[in-house]
């Protein structure tokens, strides 16, 4: 039940990051958003999700994993209800921001629960495989579920569906985690919490603005600069002044923590290139609608789920480095293949084949990187380590989306003069896929810093 609870929470957190995309046109028609305001239905969730993750992880250690998981579920479910009943744009965006805060409490708590409940290496590896698969499938199910709910019922059910699910998960948490420790007697590092949370939020906000305003705009440079300064202040506070730091820097002396989180940062760009830009290619170049695009990516999602479970079983015997290198080989081959796609490409040979190969790579690497980034953590720091791993992956995805979207746009504009609109868009997406192949190579190089021994 503990594993089912952790997987269900992760599925719901990731699902809610993607399920809204398909419903945006219907939301716009009903509530009358401005063009810029509509993006905040998505960005409001992602901003607080990324910004509050470290705080959520440390709070789980101090106040107890069960308490934080239940609190996160309550906040997530209540804000989903408000979002589903919203009658004004401001109410919906505020509810989405509250959903992101609830998710930021839930996500690191689920990792901490797994770390605390599964101490034997083989069982922990299998648990990470199931948890990773649940998140991956949640991300992929978003387009299909969002399309089905919006078409069959209303966009409001994209949010309202979380309410009964959340209620069931709260009951499961109270039952299955009844014996889990209730935290420890330490005060929260308020200075670290404020500088770390505000720094991450400002950095992510600035990166989000780059797609609309360009990297040199004051709307980008200002928030990014403030975010970097706050994160520098956060590091100084944690290293020199905090008696009980929110993010103990000693944890970065653990090679798995430092290298694993570095690879997760790069992996965020891989995931964005695979799921987000492949979906755009199917819709904008091949002419699929949103539901067809979601169904077109379903074989890759199923492949990822199967391979993630298999990789988790193999991890204790093969070790982290071997699985990461094998996954990176799949990234290099699959993205290089996908980069050859164009407006006349057939789905089976031009999209399905390479995406299945990339999905194998994601299935091999994601649970492995999560295991590497959290394996050496003491149980007393399981929450903050889980928050750090989730933050690295989320931040990598946010920065990756901004950088890759800029590269795609620049290439599309260059190709637009002598090509059809579909061909110009295909050129932009092909550039993204080549850059993703480069990220796969970078992950492979960083993985060489890991020891060869089996994970513990």
State residue 183's pLDDT score. Answer: 52
Phi, psi of 185 (to 5 degrees): -85, 85
State residue 140's pLDDT score. Answer: 67
Which sign does the torsion angle of CA 433, 390, 392, 221 carry? Answer: positive
Q: What is the mean pLDDT of each run of 10 residues along the chain (456 residues)?
A: 84 77 76 72 79 79 81 92 91 91 85 76 74 72 71 82 89 76 62 81 80 81 91 86 76 80 86 79 81 79 84 80 91 93 85 93 87 72 74 79 80 79 88 92 88 53
Whether 199 and 230 have beta carbons less than 8 Å apart is answered as yes
State residue 453's pLDDT score. Answer: 52
Q: How many residues does the chain have?
A: 456
Beta-carbon count within 10 A of 449 CB: 12
Q: Which of 68, 56, 58 is nearest to 384 (CA)?
A: 58
State residue 455's pLDDT score. Answer: 46
Phi, psi of 441 (to 5 degrees): -65, -40
> What is d(CA 110, CA 6) in angstroms, rounded to the nearest whole number?
5
> What is d(CA 386, CA 194) in angstroms, rounded to the nearest whole number?
19
The model's pTM: 0.77
Count of alpha carbons within 13 angstroms of residue 104, beta-carbon side = 29
State residue 143's pLDDT score. Answer: 64
Whether 182 and 228 have beta carbons less than 8 Å apart is answered as no
């Amino acid at each position: 039940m503990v594993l089912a609870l952790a997987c269900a929470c992760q599925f719901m957190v990731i699902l809610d990051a993607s399920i809204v995309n398909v419903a945006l046109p219907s939301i716009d028609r009903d509530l009358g958003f401005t063009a810029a305001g509509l993006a905040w239905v998505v960005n409001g969730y992602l901003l607080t999700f990324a910004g509050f993750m470290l705080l959520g992880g440390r709070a789980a250690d101090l106040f107890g994993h069960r308490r934080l998981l239940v609190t996160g579920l309550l906040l997530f479910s209540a804000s989903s209800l408000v979002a589903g009943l919203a009658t004004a744009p401001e109410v919906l965006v505020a509810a989405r921001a509250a959903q992101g805060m609830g998710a930021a409490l839930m996500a690191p708590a689920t990792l901490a629960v797994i770390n605390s409940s599964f101490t034997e290496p083989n069982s922990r590896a299998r648990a990470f495989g199931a948890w990773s698969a649940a998140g991956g499938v949640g991300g992929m199910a978003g387009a299909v579920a969002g399309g089905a709910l919006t078409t069959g019922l209303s966009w409001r059910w994209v949010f309202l569906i979380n309410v009964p699910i959340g209620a069931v998960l709260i009951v499961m948490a109270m039952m299955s985690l009844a014996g889990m420790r209730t935290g420890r007697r330490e005060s929260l590092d308020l200075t670290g919490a404020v500088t770390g949370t505000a720094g991450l939020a400002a950095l992510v906000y600035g990166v989000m603005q780059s797609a609309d305003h360009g990297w040199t705009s004051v709307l980008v440079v200002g928030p990014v600069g403030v975010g970097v300064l706050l994160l520098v202040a956060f590091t100084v506070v944690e290293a020199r002044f905090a008696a009980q730091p929110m993010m103990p820097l000693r944890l970065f002396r653990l090679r798995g923590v430092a290298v694993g989180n570095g690879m997760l940062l790069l992996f965020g760009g891989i995931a964005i290139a695979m799921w987000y830009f492949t979906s755009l290619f199917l819709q904008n170049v091949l002419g699929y609608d949103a539901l067809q695009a979601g169904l077109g990516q379903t074989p890759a999602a199923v492949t990822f789920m199967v391979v993630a479970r298999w990789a988790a079983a193999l991890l204790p015997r093969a070790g982290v480095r071997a699985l990461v290198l094998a996954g990176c080989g799949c990234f290099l081959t699959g993205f290089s293949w996908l980069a050859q796609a164009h407006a006349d490409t057939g789905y089976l040979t031009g999209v399905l084949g390479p995406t299945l190969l990339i999905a194998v790579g994601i299935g091999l690497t994601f649970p492995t990187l999560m295991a590497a980034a959290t394996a050496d953590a003491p149980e007393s720091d399981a929450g903050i380590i889980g928050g750090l791993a989730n933050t690295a992956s989320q931040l990598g995805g946010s920065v990756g989306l901004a950088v890759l979207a800029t590269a795609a746009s620049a290439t599309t504009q260059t190709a637009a003069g002598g090509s059809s609109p579909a061909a110009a868009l295909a050129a932009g997406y092909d550039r993204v896929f080549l850059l993703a192949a480069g990220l796969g190579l970078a992950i492979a190089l960083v993985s060489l810093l890991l020891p060869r021994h089996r994970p513990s």
